[in-house]
Structure 1
């Protein structure tokens, strides 16, 4: 799926080493592991994975996220926890998607959980989102639809990322199992934090207010971990796990945010069409901002 090309490029940066076996025990690997070991280098896997990504016409993803936000310090601090479980179908050309799942948030004062159901269609018909609180379908403005599609297209060209990421070559680890290549990156340096912020500004901050931009400028990354698994035969991305811990200053207060996202991809080239049900179109209320 082309939108994932940017993040794949982020990890597969100009390294030319052969993947080592990723095993818990060298003795358990034995001769069988040796016979299944691929001699492809990271650079070769990169080329084949990108080629496969560009060929993909559709795919599905199961997305699980856990996030903990801590505001303030010591006795004055409080936490806000959020979890989400989403399923998404995506067609590349034309760009269409369907998302369905739940978001659960804990009230920082009462500790009670609030569960929200999420459902959204993005097709040539428009951008439709279900408001679970009012049980009403909403049709979002065309400008918002154009912005989302534009951001997705923006992420495809990652040549600048490749040039910048050559600096972080020592942060990459390239391994393999019997059936998958495993790419691991752990980078929390000041330089890498600057790089991530630059990419966030490019892809996420178009149209944001000046004060929101300043918020991102006061952000630092304490932990940045990626684990990506790629199929040895098809070069499809099977899984992408991301852990990010960051700190930001907001109105003189320190806020720490820990995010753990696990994405499992499947259903490669198996989605032929995403259609907005007629009842959704008929019931939707157009939103004006």
Structure 2
């Protein structure tokens, strides 16, 4: 499997938001352990996961915009090249919900190579991305922009994602401190693979979906942090090991992702600069 297919996997976590119901949150001690023997004092401490979900979904209905910073670290080895390759990437983005608009800056660092920086704009005027290797702006064809817009709207429905995750309720741990709720999922095996494969096939296309049959995901850990006052998602941490086989080559990737969500409803406008639109070269699709 090509590395670019593996590198696409971490971003699915942004669309697979939360999932569990029926538990009450156990308070977290300063040492990070649950105080299961202590009785909650405040009413907010006795909320079940289901109630937290309902409030989180209600808060998401008022979401107009958000800013995200994501740090991703990957260590990749293969049977053909056992020497580890460390890849670090940082993504900072602003997102507006209606109409959908996005601005993103991404930096990728590989040891021994010059870091690569790219920019992306996505509004009703089109999808524009800066191609650093060619040092120029590119524009996706209108039909591709329409497909991305449709996928973005579908994946941005938190209620739909919650329903998909409810079947994994027994895998979640639910805790809290004075300011936040924490939901942690430790999962691996076939049932979790099927969820990831479904999401990847939907969001990344049928061609990649065929290759998903050769993906094995292990040691998966998701942790979501929800603010008690606003019920906004404030942080997300993901750790996983992914193994793939393509032909005679086996590739293993160990990955850590940390995302911070902030500036809720603080992004007023995302506008594509005129010089970007004028200089961009439209990508030609193969006939």
* TM-score, with length taken from structure 1: 0.85
Aligned to 1:255: 251
In the alignment, is residue 117 of structure 1 matched against residue 123 of structure 2?
Answer: no
What SS does the corresponding residue of 1:7 show, helix, strand or coil? coil
The 8 Å contact of residues 218 and 242 in structure 2, kept in 1 or not, is answered as yes
Give per-residue Cα distances to partners, 1:127-173, cap 9 Å, x unaligned.
11112233211112122212221221232457776566444322100
- Indicate how the Cα distance of structure 1 residues 117 and 169 shifts in structure 2: closer, same or farther if over 3 A, else same: same
Shift, 1:25, TM fit? 4.4
Q: 1:136 to 1:26 in 2, by over 3 A?
A: closer
Flag structure 1 segments of 5+ consecutive residues without an equivalent: 107-111
What does the per-residue CA deviation read over 1:210-235, in whole Å, with 9 as the maximum and x for residues that have no partner? xx433210111112111100010001
1:69 correspondence with 2:79: no
Which range moved further: 15-24 or 225-234? 15-24
Query: In the alignment, which residue of structure 2 is the partner of 1:203?
Result: 203
Q: CA deviation at 1:181?
A: 0.5
> How has the CA–CA distance of structure 1 residues 94 and 188 changed in structure 2, closer, same or farther, with 3 Å as cutoff?
same
Q: Is 1:99–2:104 an aligned residue pair? A: yes
What is the root-mean-square deviation in Å for CA atoms of aligned residues?
2.8
The residue aligned with 2:236 is 240
Match of 2:276 among 270, 273, 280: 280
Q: How many residues align structurally?
A: 273
Q: Is the 8 A contact 1:60 1:87 kept in 2?
A: yes
Given that 2:19 and 2:166 are in contact with CA atoms closer than 8 Å, whether structure 1 keeps it comes out as no
SS of 2:150's equivalent? helix
Q: TM-score, normalised by structure 2?
A: 0.85
From 16, 19, 33, the counterpart of 2:22: 16
Alpha-carbon distance in structure 2 between the residues aligned to 1:158 and 1:17: 20
